[in-house]
Structure 1
């Protein structure tokens, strides 16, 4: 009959002994003195054939008493070959009742036992100094308890089968704290976590991470409320900045992604597509000064095809790059002027046609917002210039037509006829010379 086993593994020795009738009395005394050697095992009672009847009856009575004592809960001290030892109650060869078990590494358990395993209330201190005080079942933490680490971190709450499961509070040594639900040693369900930095989260957790719906606040007054996945904003939510700027829309992997609306503290407003925290795709942007842009965005800038309008009725429709008209487009002014052509960095550049509000028109090449290169310039009076331009002025070779049909072919400079050329009146022509627009010959 094994009196004691260490939890699920250590068994008592298999030493066997025979009791003669002369040993029974002293053994019985030891039993009732709680000093039964836990390493001994009763195998047989052997009565000498020479034992008289009285001793036989007495020995039989003592043997029955011994067996009955072994079945009751008795206090014993047991030393194991491994160096562990147990002091406490036993019953039916197992640790049962209250007892203390000490391991060779210094770990110690004191509390209730059942069927050779910790059960009920108990205190366990491991060799490194970690401590558990609370309920046990079948050798594991189970029920309400407090586990304290050597670092100072502590968990207070419910356990199931040796793991933190249920409702509990975990306080880290650095000041972080979690209050909420647990499952298999991980944050799971609804909870509140605060960091020593001042950050806080209230919401759902899964597998130890913020996952589901929740609200995250930073000490500098930034905040996010909405969906989370793997500790990052994911799904629909709203992010607020300290200056009252906010974004409401879709998130993925902690960044603005998908459809959303961002409103800045100064009155700017954007509604449209986002990618990786930046405006990207189609959207509508409004400025406090009344400007409105509707079109494409890339890398947080106005880029692609779109339309910009101003409060004063200015309007541009066409291609944009990095926030400015670039490429082909049409720009109209409130006075009726219109430019249709190429732009570069917001300026007329390349081929285009500009109709002035007073009826003048220019069609040709532009550079830095001015006629530059070959072009055709006409006035409402009927005058016309075909030729070269430089920085907005007639410069180089060209032909000037007067309203009466006469013309000059020759050199121009400083926006005037300058130099020698040919003058035509009707079908006849002659050589002529001009200086600053005045004929000299």
Structure 2
């Protein structure tokens, strides 16, 4: 293998290893504000109509809560509106004193509209908190579960699978500048195989762990440079190939984004094979 007359390598100029900007993924919030009201729904135990016929009536439980709607016996059944003193209300379907069916729950800073079963969100529903957050999708026992969409206050959004309130499974996350990740999620983070595209044109396709580039991957810069190989927590570590302008190439081992270990450099028509430590050539083979 040929040896260049000069083995001096200006690593920072040649490599230009700065990656695209770091992108932050919003966590999926646990939405339970409504439980403060629903866990303490009033019931009527005093004498009233005891037949099984639906009737409509208004009843004030105390100075804080009033109900106007349909009843069967002493229990709210059918369509009705329960309102609290602070203006919070639920309007929709009831069954045996519980929210059951389609209904809308409104408070001073959030709105829930969708399907309920025994006081819990079950089925399709929308949960909006002021202009800060919005979820549209499926629920099971008050947990986000299945396909849904989340919209955040920084104009980013997520479309995909949820499990027990967190992003889990296949999904797409889009930032306000147009950057996009499409792939696997676990516990609200990139985990598994996916593709991340930055707004500046750079992109990465490969393995992720907890939002880090971790495992085998392919990184393409917007100026044509590319890296194929192993990552450990966003750093090139292990074996990899790096290509840049004029068909220049390094193939070998890396540590913390620098050539480290045995490698072969093709630069300006020359071929250098040797051992490297922290990006500096030590021994020529």
**TM-score range relative to shorter protein:** 0.7 to 0.9
Deviation at 1:280, TM superposition (A): 0.6
Who is 1:210 aligned against? 121
1:321 to 232, 256, 262: 232
- Deviation by residue 1:189-243 (Cα, 9 ceiling, x = unmatched): 10000123x1101111111011110111111331111111222221111111133
Contact 1:132 1:147 survives alignment (8 Å):
no
2:103 to 183, 186, 191: 191
State the alpha-carbon separation in 2 of the partners of residues 147 and 264 from structure 1: 49
Contact 1:134 1:144 survives alignment (8 Å):
no
Deviation at 1:375, TM superposition (A): 3.0
Contact 1:202 1:214 survives alignment (8 Å):
yes
Structure 1 unaligned residues grouped into runs of 5+: 1-129, 377-441
Contact 1:179 1:192 survives alignment (8 Å):
yes
User: SS at the partner of 1:316?
Assistant: strand
Q: TM-score, normalised by structure 1?
A: 0.52
User: SS at the partner of 1:220?
Assistant: coil
2:50 to 137, 157, 172: 137
**What are the residue-to-residue correspondences of 1:99-248 with 2, within 5 Å?**
136-138=49-51, 143-196=55-108, 198-248=109-159
Extract structure 1 runs of 4+ deviating beyond 6 A. 130-135
State the alpha-carbon separation in 1 of the partners of residues 149 and 250 from structure 2: 42
Who is 1:310 aligned against? 221
Q: How many aligned positions are there?
A: 243
Distance 1:135 1:162, change over 3 A: closer
2:284 to 372, 375, 393: 375
State the alpha-carbon separation in 2 of the partners of residues 368 and 288 from structure 1: 31
State the alpha-carbon separation in 2 of the partners of residues 343 and 267 from structure 1: 31
Deviation at 1:261, TM superposition (A): 0.8
The reply to whether residue 265 of structure 1 matches residue 173 of structure 2 is: no
State the alpha-carbon separation in 2 of the partners of residues 239 and 335 from structure 1: 44
Contact 1:135 1:145 survives alignment (8 Å):
no
State the alpha-carbon separation in 2 of the partners of residues 182 and 226 from structure 1: 22
State the alpha-carbon separation in 2 of the partners of residues 357 and 144 from structure 1: 88
Deviation at 1:285, TM superposition (A): 0.6
The alignment yields a C-alpha RMSD, in angstroms, of 2.3
User: SS at the partner of 1:137?
Assistant: coil
User: SS at the partner of 1:136?
Assistant: coil
Q: TM-score, normalised by structure 2?
A: 0.79
Deviation at 1:157, TM superposition (A): 1.1
State the alpha-carbon separation in 2 of the partners of residues 264 and 243 from structure 1: 8
Deviation at 1:360, TM superposition (A): 4.0
User: SS at the partner of 2:131?
Assistant: coil
- Deviation by residue 1:354-386 (Cα, 9 ceiling, x = unmatched): 22123141322x2222213x333xxxxxxxxxx
Structure 2 unaligned residues grouped into runs of 5+: 1-42
- Deviation by residue 1:72-92 (Cα, 9 ceiling, x = unmatched): xxxxxxxxxxxxxxxxxxxxx
State the alpha-carbon separation in 1 of the partners of residues 254 and 89 from structure 2: 59
Contact 2:48 2:73 survives alignment (8 Å):
no
